[in-house]
Structure 1
Amino acid sequence: MASEVKLSKLVQDNRSILEIYQGEEYIKDKDVLVSDIYRPGLELTGYFDFYPAQRIQLLGRTEISYAARLDHDIRKHVFTKMATKATPCFLISRSLPVPEELSDAAEKAHIPILQTSESTTYISSVMTEYLRARLAKRTSIHGVLVEIKGMGVLLTGASGVGKSETALGLVQRGHRLIADDRVDAFQKDHNTVVGEAPKILKHLMEIRGIGIIDVMNLFGAGAVKNRTEIQLVINLVNWDPKANYDRLGFQENTREICNVAIPQVNIPVKVGRNIEIIIEVAVMNFRAKKMGYDATKTFDNNLTSLISKHSKEDTNEVHHDD
């Protein structure tokens, strides 16, 4: 788990929507420790009992217009108290004018001031999502992550079972690679896990007998994606004729990743089975179940109905013989 995000990195990664108003020389020394963004409303009235100074302080139209109504000395006092050593930066939305008192207080405390032309709600959402992704709990998984028909699928299995070769076949069929061999996963929220490739492995794939290939250069930009939500785990296992595989689909397995239970399907691998097509069907079947259609339940209902029908016919025959 990352303990902080460098403010310089945040500005660099979001330079299309952020600009530095003042204090560029202080940015390299600032870290962001929490993902929550704070809008200092009560603090402008003088209430600082629970002021979360360690958050990015976002001032929008409401805060700036309220501050403009305050007396100069009050504004100076309030902004001086807000500018603490723990404060990573001030962020002004909608390209609103920066109060002179805030500029002075930030300069004295060596706190950068950033500006954006975006709305307050939008920039708050973007910054929160960015920080959550980088401050979230992370784990490394041995496997291959692909996006099939818009769904993030993690391929797992023992070394040599054919995960990378299967993923390559899926890419050739129009699906997208996110990560090969190692997947970095983090929890986005209580029910969502996102996976991405380590920087050193981004867009790369290892194929035994060929070596390292660059999937984006070989298949184009549409064949890769930087990250995706992990919605299904497909565990590839070597075929064992003595094993009792699920043939009807009644078994419901899960795998826990970052404290989130992800549905898992076990698929046996052997010569002659087209694993790519089987995986595509598994994904479509999983999506159908999420939409409310379960072929297994349909089969079960049909079987129950058939048994009931034959039972009634047998009963009628007995009564007729009597």
Structure 2
Amino acid sequence: MVKVRTKDLIEKFDLELISGEEGIDRPISISDISRPGLEIAGFFDYYPEERIQLLGKTELTFIGKLDDGDRKYRLQRLCTDITPGIIISRGMEVPEELLEASERESVPVMRSKLKTTRLSSHLTNYLEGKLAPTTAVHGVLVDIYGVGVLITGKSGVGKSETALELVKRGHRLVADDCVEIRQEDQDTLIGSSPELIEHLLEIRGLGIINVMTLFGAGAVRSYKRITLVINLELWDQNKQYDRLGLDEEKMKIIDTDITKLTVPVRPGRNLAVIIEVAAMNFRLKRMGVNAAEQFSARLSDVIDDGEH
């Protein structure tokens, strides 16, 4: 499925479409922006034709100094059948030869008032966000004290009920049941809710409730970076659960490793409080305070003292 087309850039950045209107539905498959300085100088061996081409003051000044034959040939070479578009920055004049070539090949030529570097930065950020790898996970995403906690577990284990209790305790719901995740950077996962079920929680016995209507706008968020996964599982008598918290388990989502805790569920355990404390403890660890390691060190000291 195509995520971004040239017309999306025109709308998002209020670009002026000058020529090549037939090509505004062309797909953009790569977030990198090309500034084709070498190509304009005549070197087309490695021309990244599938990228958005950005022409600034430097390129346009150089084009103006070329003789008519070179200018026409090189600007024609810029316009291929897979080039999604050419953007002129600083509101500068578009060379006539570029307009002719763009109309012939249906390559949209657009113009922006922004300076070249700033425009390049905005375009890259937008395209990276839109073209980032995505996945969907069955679970609940809650913002707890600024920590994005993804609560996972089998159906019926109590994820939504725990999220409801957390919202009642002042934390913010991002998504229930289905969490859409996109990887914006090598170690940055952003979770959000599908539009259809945004702000909604499904509680067995009650049905669907609207968290924003019940608890107000402060109880919800549109998206949140995921930094901790808490997996709820029914208590298994024969399983050894981590009692110190020294071992840190990881879960891979797309290409990013996220810290994962497994919390056993059984009657009498207040899951919301446990998850709340887990989030606070995770924050403390990131600040350099690790209670489990401190206890382990104290225990080692006591054992060493006893041996002497």
The equivalent residue for 2:92 is: 96
* Alpha carbons of structure 1 residues 165 and 110: separation in structure 2 relative to 1, 3 Å: same
* Alpha carbons of structure 1 residues 10 and 181: separation in structure 2 relative to 1, 3 Å: farther
Deviation at 1:54, TM superposition (A): 0.9
- TM-score by length of structure 1 reads 0.85
Q: Which SS does the other structure have where 1:5 is aligned? A: coil
Deviation at 1:249, TM superposition (A): 0.5
1:256-275 equivalences under 5 Å are: 256-275=252-271
Question: Does 2:93 correspond to 1:86?
Answer: no
The equivalent residue for 1:8 is: 7
Deviation string 1:9-30 (CA, Å, 9 cap, x unpaired) is 3444x2xx33233247425431
Q: Which SS does the other structure have where 1:188 is aligned? A: strand
Deviation string 1:245-286 (CA, Å, 9 cap, x unpaired) is 211102211111113221101112333333222212211211
Question: Does 2:40 correspond to 1:31?
Answer: no
What's the RMSD between the two structures over aligned residues? Answer: 2.4
Percent identity of paired positions between Structure 1 and Structure 2: 47
Q: Which SS does the other structure have where 1:63 is aligned? A: helix
**Residues 3 and 135, structure 1, Cα contact 8 Å, conserved in 2:** no
1:89-128 equivalences under 5 Å are: 89-128=85-124
**Residues 2 and 27, structure 2, Cα contact 8 Å, conserved in 1:** no
* Alpha carbons of structure 1 residues 116 and 213: separation in structure 2 relative to 1, 3 Å: farther
**Residues 193 and 229, structure 1, Cα contact 8 Å, conserved in 2:** yes
* Alpha carbons of structure 1 residues 95 and 264: separation in structure 2 relative to 1, 3 Å: same
Code of the residue aligned with 1:8 in structure 2: it is K
Question: Does 2:186 correspond to 1:190?
Answer: yes
The equivalent residue for 2:156 is: 160
Deviation at 1:199, TM superposition (A): 2.9
Give 5+ residue unaligned stretches, structure 1: 313-322
Deviation at 1:170, TM superposition (A): 2.4
- TM-score by length of structure 2 reads 0.89
**Residues 57 and 91, structure 1, Cα contact 8 Å, conserved in 2:** yes
Code of the residue aligned with 1:149 in structure 2: it is Y
Give 5+ residue unaligned stretches, structure 2: none
Q: Which SS does the other structure have where 1:34 is aligned? A: coil
Question: Does 2:215 correspond to 1:216?
Answer: no
* Alpha carbons of structure 1 residues 225 and 101: separation in structure 2 relative to 1, 3 Å: farther
1:233 and 1:311 map into 2 onto residues whose CA distance is 40
The equivalent residue for 2:73 is: 77
Question: Does 2:305 correspond to 1:306?
Answer: no
* Alpha carbons of structure 1 residues 131 and 100: separation in structure 2 relative to 1, 3 Å: same
2:215 and 2:116 map into 1 onto residues whose CA distance is 40
Question: Does 2:301 correspond to 1:289?
Answer: no
Q: Which SS does the other structure have where 2:227 is aligned? A: strand
1:153 and 1:133 map into 2 onto residues whose CA distance is 21
**Residues 20 and 112, structure 1, Cα contact 8 Å, conserved in 2:** no
Deviation at 1:240, TM superposition (A): 3.9
The equivalent residue for 1:147 is: 143
